[in-house]
Each structure stands twice: as structure tokens, then as C-alpha cells.
Structure 1
Amino acid sequence: MSAFDDLLAFQRQTEALSSVAERLGWDQETVMPRGATEQRSEEIAAMEEVLHERRTDPRLGEWLAAAEPRTEVETRIVELINRDFTRASRIPARLATELARTTSLAQGIWADARANESPLDFLPTLDQVLMLKREQAAALADGGDLYDALLQEFEPDTTAAEIAAVFDAMRPRLVTLREDVLGADSQPQALTGHFPQETQLRLARSCATSFGYDWSRGRMDTAVHPFSSGRWQDSRITTRVVEPEPFNCLYSTIHEVGHSSYELGIDPDYAFTPLGRGGSMSLHESQSRIYENQMGRGRAFTGWLFDRMSDAFDGLNIADPDAFYATVNRVTPGCVRTESDEVQYNLHIMLRFDLERDLISGRLDCEDLVEAWNARFLKDFGIAVDRPANGVLQDVHWAVGLFGYFPTYALGNVYAGCLNAAMRKAVPDLDDALAQGDAGPGVEWLRENVQRHGGLRPPNRLIEEATGAPVSPAPLLDYLEDKFGRLYSL
């Protein structure tokens, strides 16, 4: 066997073990008994110790040095393994294991604190996570910016300064659009009524099927915070049910189907290699957001959904499909990111991006986080946070150590804007299919141009090849201004 063959065989086992570890996390958030948190934290820590040993095995360095890739695929595999090897080698095994153990425990503590509306029950644990993440960042940064070092895990080759520049370019148009929309004379009617959990879940499954979810390789469960998990032949989704707010469940489901379909749509030849996963978290978010928003919240699909919801819930308080489309896209002041409309969603991300950079740099301490969050939210959104579960406790990301993840949501929206413009030109009859509850033509275009490639190409290059144009926030902002300008007669 060649050095490349040895490298690939070793990596195959590492990828398989990583998938097992991910399944432990899925189990913890869905069906694990609540009393098993401490045991699970030890199990996850043990898995991380094994994985860290493999990711830093000295033989990797020898194989990487001797490997002679012959194709684009082999060259990219070597590049990605080398990147992970270099990164993992800078992190002490003790730190990797302690991070896994602490974040596993923190997840349960966060969930309880959120349920009890008690930030003080969570902040000491968050402080432990933060200290470990700062230590990890210092090990990775090698004297450079700490936040940039963490960002590389989710969006390689991108810096906080580059992201801040994109956000600075987006913010003025988003704020202006929000002010115009909220000040419009005509406002859509809110959806009201009784929407039983089981009926919501049945309809959510129908929506998932409409967007091509492969039930033979997936399943749907409920979780405190919706997420997807898995890859290759097993990628699962979760959703959340709030009985008075069925859109929460339905659109969380469609969103997670976008994530899961990305993993299931990757070329099967890439399984158990670094190419067999999404190319970055922003690429992942581009799929979930284009499924949820540009296709799922468009007039064509909401017309289909109006009929299904009217039947499922024995009528709605909304008069017709046009009014329902406006209700689905209703812009209202609110505290919760996952329930936010398209106009304000990126402003939520910008808030978190700034706060977590301050946390990592030490400019902000955990004990001051609640006050900082509430003050910033009031400044950015003009409303006061009503309770901790709608404020600093609403997201699980910091509890599980995902510092550097949040900006990828907004970058994913930017990518989705670029992809939507290209997809609409390439699939001019897409809305005809969506009106029948069939997202298939759009899903197929995305699978061909984005999903099947997995990690083969860097994000910017992949989007440019898919769309024929450089990445820019302009298509997203143009889409938002056009859509909501029409909806609100601006």
C-alpha cells in the first residue's frame, strides 16, 4: 500500500468513530434519560480522548509527507487531513478531553437553567467553558487573534475582520428595511388558534417529505433546540413544538431538512473521508436557509401549506392564500432568533458575533453577560428582553463551546442569496412545482451544484462555480427588499 492508501485507511476509522461520537450527542439531546448526564459526559470525554489520539498520531505526519495524490479529490483529502492534523496537534490531549466533558455537562445545565429562567444557574458553568475555549484558542492561534483561531473550525480561511466588513455593509440596508416595514400602514394578521402537537408533527413530516427528505436514511425527533445530526447513510433531524405557534415547528423542520439533505446528498464515494461532510458551516446554513426561506416561505409553497394547514386544523383565522403568505412572512419585534423573520434574522447574528468576540478576548466576562446582552438587544431592536429564555439563555451554542459558529448563519444567508438568484434562472418553473408541494426541482439543482461536492472545494469557490459570480451580500439584500417591499407596499 502507498502512503496515501495508509492515510486513507486510518482516516476512514477516525471518521467512523467521529460519527459514533456525534450519535452520542444526538441521543443526549433527544431520548437519553435526564439522569444520565454525568455518565454521558464521561462517555463523550472518553470518545474525544480516543479521537484526539488518532488525530494527532505521529504516523499521520509521516503519511502526509510521503503521500503523492494524483487527482483533485486525493489532493483535497490530503489538504484537509493535514489541516485537521496541524490543528489537533496544537491542542493538548488534556484540554480536548476536558472540553468534551465540560460542554456535555454544560448542555444539560443550560437546558435546566433555560426551563427555570435562571441565568445564575448556568453562568458559572459557561465561565468554565469560556476559560477552556480561551485556552484552546491560544493554543491554536500561535500568537494570532484568538477569535480567528476558533472561527477556522467552522469557516476556514475567514477572519473576524472580513466578516465584520460584510456585516457593516449589510446592516444599513437591513435596518432601513426593518424601519420601513414596521412603519408600513398595512400589517399582516397574526395566526391564532389551537394547534395540537401531534397534528403539527404530522404536518411537519409532510413538509419534510415535500423537500425530499429521505426517511430511509433519517428520522425526526423533538429537542429543546432543533438540530440535525449524522452523515452518509444516517442523518437525523429534530424539531421543536410550541402549540400556539405552529410555524416554529414547520419551518424548523424544513430548516433542518436542508442541513440533513446536504449530508445525504454528498457523493457516496466520499463517505468516511474528509470530503464526506459539508464544506463549511456557512455552506451548511446556505442549504438550510434556502430551503426554509427562499423556497419554504415563498408565495408558491405557502399556498400549498395554507391548504394543508386549513385541513389539518379545521380552518384558520387567515382568509386566503395571499393573506397567509403575508402572515408567514410577518415582521414583528421579537427576542428569539430562531423565530425571527428574514428581515431581522441577520441582526440577531450580528449581536451574537460582537458579544462572543468580546467574551473570547476578555473584554466581557460571563458575570456581566446578561446585562450586556439586554442592553445591546434594546439598542439594536428597540425592545426589552422579557425573560432570560428569550435572551441570553435562548441558544445552546455557547454551552456546547461553539464560539465562532454564529457568524456562519449570516454568511449562510449571503450564500443562499447568491444561490437563489442563480437557481431561479436555471429552474424557471420552480414555483409551479412548489405550488404543488414539490421542492424537487430546486433540491435537485442544489444537490448538483452544491451538496454532492461535500468538502471538495472551498466555500467561496464552490459558490462562485455554482452561480457564475463572486460572493456578495447584494443578491440577498435585493431579494429581501423586493420581497418585503411588495408584501408591505413600500
Structure 2
Amino acid sequence: MSAYTDLMTFQRDTEALGQVAGRLAWDQETVMPRGAADQRGDEVSAMETVLHARRTDPRIGDWLARAEPESEIEAAQLRHIRRAYLRHTRVPARLAAALARETSLSQGIWAAARATDDVAAFLPTFRRVLSLVREQAAALADGGDPYDALLDDYEPGATGASLSAMFAALRPRLVALREAILGAEHTPAALTGIFPEDGQLKVSTTLATAFGYDFDRGRIDKAVHPFSSGSGNDVRITTRTMPDDPFNCFYSTVHEVGHAAYEQGIDQAYLLTPVGCGVSMGVHESQSRIFENQLGRSRAFTRYLHGVMGQTFGPLNITDPDAFYGAVNRVRSGHIRTEADEVHYNLHVLLRFDLERDLIAGTLAPEDLEQAWNARFEQDFGLVVDRPSNGMLQDVHWPIGLFGYFPTYALGNVYAGCLHQTLRSAVPDLDDHLARGDTTPATTWLRENLQRHGGLHTSRATIANACGFDPHEGPLLDYLETKFGALYSL
């Protein structure tokens, strides 16, 4: 057997074990009994110890040295394995296990603190998580920038400096658009009423099906924080319901279906290999955001959704489909990132990006985070944070150690803007289909031009190959200004 064949045989088992570890995380956020938290922490730590030993096995270095790729696919597999091997060998097994256990425990502590708005109850575990993450960052950086080392886990090749420059280009036009909208004379009416959970979940399933989610290889469950998990032939998503805000459920579902469709759409020949999953979180977010926003919140698709909601819940307070489109896309300052409209969303991300860079650099202490968050939020949004669950406790990312993840949301929006511009040119009659709830022309184009390739190319090349140009923020800003300029008669 060749070195490449030996390596891929070994890697397949590692990938399979990684999927099992992911299933433990899914279970913890959906159906695990609360009393199992400590035991689950030990289980996750044990699994991470096994995975770390495999990922740092010296034979990998030997196989990599001897393997000769014979195709583009083999070269991509080796690129991913080599990068992962270098990263994992820099992190001691002790640290990897400690991080896995501490972040597993932290998730439950955060959830309880969030429910009671008790920052003090969360701070001790947060200090431990941050200390471990900073130790990990220093090990990965190997003398370089610690934050860049963490970012590389989610968006390989990106740097804090490059993203900071992109976000600096985004901010002025976003702020100007926000100010114009908030000062506009016309404001779309809001959807009001109480929408029972069983009806919301029924519509949620209808929307998931409309966007191509394969229920033979996936499922929908409820969770406090919606997420997508898994790849290949076992991809699971979650959603949440709020009686007076059905859009929270519907668009959380469509967002997570975007992630799931990416994983389900990858060529089956890549199953349980490094190329067989999404290439980066930025590209992943491009799929969830284009599903949720450019497609799901479009005038055409909301016409279809208006009909579905009427059939499910009875007459709505908004009877006109165009007015309903306005209700779906109302712009208003709010505390919660996941509930933010398209204009405000990236401003939420930029706040987190700046704060987490300071946390990793050590220029912001955990005990000072709440004050720093609240001051920055009032500056950016003109709102006072009324309670921690609307502020620093609202997201699960930092409690479970995902530093470097947040900027990929804004990067995904940039990528989605580029993809949407190209998609509209490729499928000029798209709105005719969306108005009937038929997303097939869009989802097929995305699958053929992006999703099926998985990790075959780098993240920026994946977007550039689909669009025919290098990604930049221009298409996203043009789309937002055109859409909301019309909605608010600017």
C-alpha cells in the first residue's frame, strides 16, 4: 500500500470519531439531562484525548513526507491533513483535554447564568476558559499573533488585520444606511399576534423542505441557541420558538438549513475525508446567510411565506403580501445578534470581533467585559443594555471557547453578497420560482458551483471560482442599499 493510501485509511477513522464527538455536543444541547453535565465533561475530555492522540500520531508525519499526490483531490486532502497535523502537534494533549472538559462544563454554567442574568456566576468558569484558550493560542501561534492563530481554525489564511480592514470598509456605508433608515418617514408595519409552537414547527419543516433539506439524512430539534451539526449523511439542525415572534423560528431554521445543505451537498466521494466538509466557517456562513436573507427574505419568497402562514395560523394582521415583505425586513435597533435585521447584523459582529481580540491580547479582563460591552453597544446602537442576557451573556461562542469564530459571520455576509450577485445573473427568472416557494434553481446553482466541492479549494478560491471574481464587500453593500432604500423610500 502507498503512503497516501495508508494515511487516508487512518484519517477516515479519525474523521468518523470526530463525527461521534460532534454527536455528543449535539446531544448536550438538545436532549441531555441537566444532571449529566459533569459526566459529559469527562466523556468529552476522554474523546478529545483519543482524537488528539490520533491527530498527532507520528506516523502521520511519516506518511505526509512520503505521500505523492496523483490528482487535485489527493493534493487537497494532503493540504488539509498537513495543516491540521501541524496545528495539533503544537497543542499538548493535556491542554486539549482540559479545554474539552472545561468548555463542556462552561456551556451549562453559561446557560444557567444567562437564564438568571447572573454574570458573577459565570465569571469564574469564563476566566478558566479564557486562560486555556490564550494558552492554546500561544501554542498555535508559535511566536506569531495569537488571535490570528485562533482565527485560522475557522477561516484559514485570514488575519485579524485583513478582516479589520474589510470591516473598516463596511462600517461607514452600513452606519450611513442605518441612520437614513431610522430617520425615514416610512416605517413598515409589524406582524403581531400569538403563534402557537406546533404551528411554528410545522411551518419550519415546510421551509426546510422548500430549501432542499434532506430529512432522510437530517432532523430538526429545539435548542436554546440554533445550530447545525454533522456532515455527510448525518446532518442535524435545531431551531427555537417564541410565541409572539414566529420569524425567529422560521429564519433560524432557514439559516441552519443553509449550513446543512452545504454539508449534504458535498460530493459523496469525499465522505469521511478532510475534503468532505465545508472549507471554512466564512464559506459556511455564506450559505446560511444567502438562504436566510437574499433568498428567504426576498420580496418573492416572502409572498410564498405569507400564504403558508395564513394557511397555518389563520388571517394575519397584515393581509397584503408587499406589506408582509416590509414586516419581515423591518429595521430596528435591538440587543440580540441572532434577531438582528440585515442592516444591523454586521455591526453586532464588529463589536464582538473587537472585544474578543482585546480579550485574547490581554488588554481586556473578563471582569471588565460587561462594562466594555455595554459602553460599546450604546455607542454603536444607541441602546442601553438592560440585562446581561441581552449583552455579554447572549452568545454561546465564548463560553465554549470559540474565539475567532464571530468575524466569519460578517465575512460570510460579504461572500453571500458576491454569490447573490452572480446567482441573479445566472438565473434571471429566479423570483418567479421563489414566489411559488421553489428554491430549486438557486439551491441547484449553489450546490453545483460551490457546495459539492467541499474543501477541495481554499475558502477565497471557493468563492472566486463560483463568482468569477475575487470576493469583496461591494456587492453586499450595493444589495443592502438597493433593498432597504426601496423599502424605506430613501
Tell me whether the two structures share a fold, i.e. TM-score over 0.5. Answer: yes
* Residue number in structure 2 paired with 1:315: 315
Opposite residue 307 of structure 2, the aligned amino acid is D
* Residue number in structure 2 paired with 1:110: 110
TM superposition score normalised by structure 2: 0.99
What RMSD in Å do the two structures reach over aligned CA positions?
0.6
* Residue number in structure 2 paired with 1:174: 174
* Residue number in structure 2 paired with 1:164: 164
* Residue number in structure 2 paired with 1:327: 327
Deviation by residue 1:408-441 (Cα, 9 ceiling, x = unmatched): 0000000000000000111112111111111111
* Residue number in structure 2 paired with 1:81: 81
* Residue number in structure 2 paired with 1:140: 140
Opposite residue 106 of structure 2, the aligned amino acid is A
The 5-angstrom pairing of residues 179-328 of structure 1 reads 179-328=179-328
Using the TM superposition, give the Cα deviation of residue 386 of structure 1 relative to its aligned residue in structure 2, in angstroms.
Answer: 1.6
State how far apart, in whole Å, the 1-side matches of 2:311 and 2:11 are: 50
Using the TM superposition, give the Cα deviation of residue 313 of structure 1 relative to its aligned residue in structure 2, in angstroms.
Answer: 1.3
> What's the % identity of the aligned pairs?
64
State how far apart, in whole Å, the 1-side matches of 2:294 and 2:342 are: 10
State how far apart, in whole Å, the 1-side matches of 2:269 and 2:472 are: 32
State how far apart, in whole Å, the 2-side matches of 1:362 and 1:309 are: 49
* Residue number in structure 1 paired with 2:473: 473
Using the TM superposition, give the Cα deviation of residue 289 of structure 1 relative to its aligned residue in structure 2, in angstroms.
Answer: 0.2
Using the TM superposition, give the Cα deviation of residue 272 of structure 1 relative to its aligned residue in structure 2, in angstroms.
Answer: 1.1
State how far apart, in whole Å, the 2-side matches of 1:440 and 1:121 are: 48
* Residue number in structure 2 paired with 1:93: 93
Opposite residue 249 of structure 2, the aligned amino acid is C
State how far apart, in whole Å, the 1-side matches of 2:410 and 2:93 are: 33
State how far apart, in whole Å, the 2-side matches of 1:467 and 1:396 are: 33
Opposite residue 89 of structure 2, the aligned amino acid is S
Deviation by residue 1:335-359 (Cα, 9 ceiling, x = unmatched): 0000000001000000000000000
State how far apart, in whole Å, the 2-side matches of 1:371 and 1:434 are: 45
Deviates most, 416-425 or 383-392: 383-392
State how far apart, in whole Å, the 2-side matches of 1:158 and 1:228 are: 23
Opposite residue 173 of structure 1, the aligned amino acid is R
State how far apart, in whole Å, the 2-side matches of 1:139 and 1:464 are: 32
SS of residue in 1 equivalent to 2:364 = coil
State how far apart, in whole Å, the 1-side matches of 2:358 and 2:369 are: 10
State how far apart, in whole Å, the 2-side matches of 1:6 and 1:259 are: 31
State how far apart, in whole Å, the 1-side matches of 2:138 and 2:122 are: 24
Using the TM superposition, give the Cα deviation of residue 319 of structure 1 relative to its aligned residue in structure 2, in angstroms.
Answer: 2.8
The 5-angstrom pairing of residues 449-464 of structure 1 reads 449-464=449-464
* Residue number in structure 2 paired with 1:439: 439
Opposite residue 212 of structure 2, the aligned amino acid is G
Using the TM superposition, give the Cα deviation of residue 38 of structure 1 relative to its aligned residue in structure 2, in angstroms.
Answer: 0.6
Deviation by residue 1:457-478 (Cα, 9 ceiling, x = unmatched): 0011111111111111000000
State how far apart, in whole Å, the 2-side matches of 1:386 and 1:246 are: 23
TM superposition score normalised by structure 1: 0.99
State how far apart, in whole Å, the 2-side matches of 1:321 and 1:91 are: 55
Query: Where do 4+ consecutive residues of structure 1 move more than 4 Å?
Result: none
SS of residue in 2 equivalent to 1:110 = helix
The 5-angstrom pairing of residues 352-367 of structure 1 reads 352-367=352-367
Deviates most, 384-393 or 445-454: 384-393
SS of residue in 2 equivalent to 1:122 = helix
* Residue number in structure 2 paired with 1:24: 24
Q: Does 1:49 align with 2:70?
A: no
Deviation by residue 1:194-238 (Cα, 9 ceiling, x = unmatched): 111111000110010110110000000000100000111010110
Query: What is the number of residues matched between the two proteins?
Result: 490
State how far apart, in whole Å, the 2-side matches of 1:152 and 1:470 are: 20
State how far apart, in whole Å, the 2-side matches of 1:159 and 1:333 are: 29
SS of residue in 1 equivalent to 2:276 = coil
Using the TM superposition, give the Cα deviation of residue 316 of structure 1 relative to its aligned residue in structure 2, in angstroms.
Answer: 1.1
State how far apart, in whole Å, the 1-side matches of 2:108 and 2:162 are: 34
Q: Which runs of 5+ in 2 are unaligned?
A: none
Q: Which runs of 5+ in 1 are unaligned?
A: none
State how far apart, in whole Å, the 2-side matches of 1:356 and 1:33 are: 31
State how far apart, in whole Å, the 2-side matches of 1:469 and 1:80 are: 24
Deviation by residue 1:149-192 (Cα, 9 ceiling, x = unmatched): 10000000110000000000000000000000111001011111
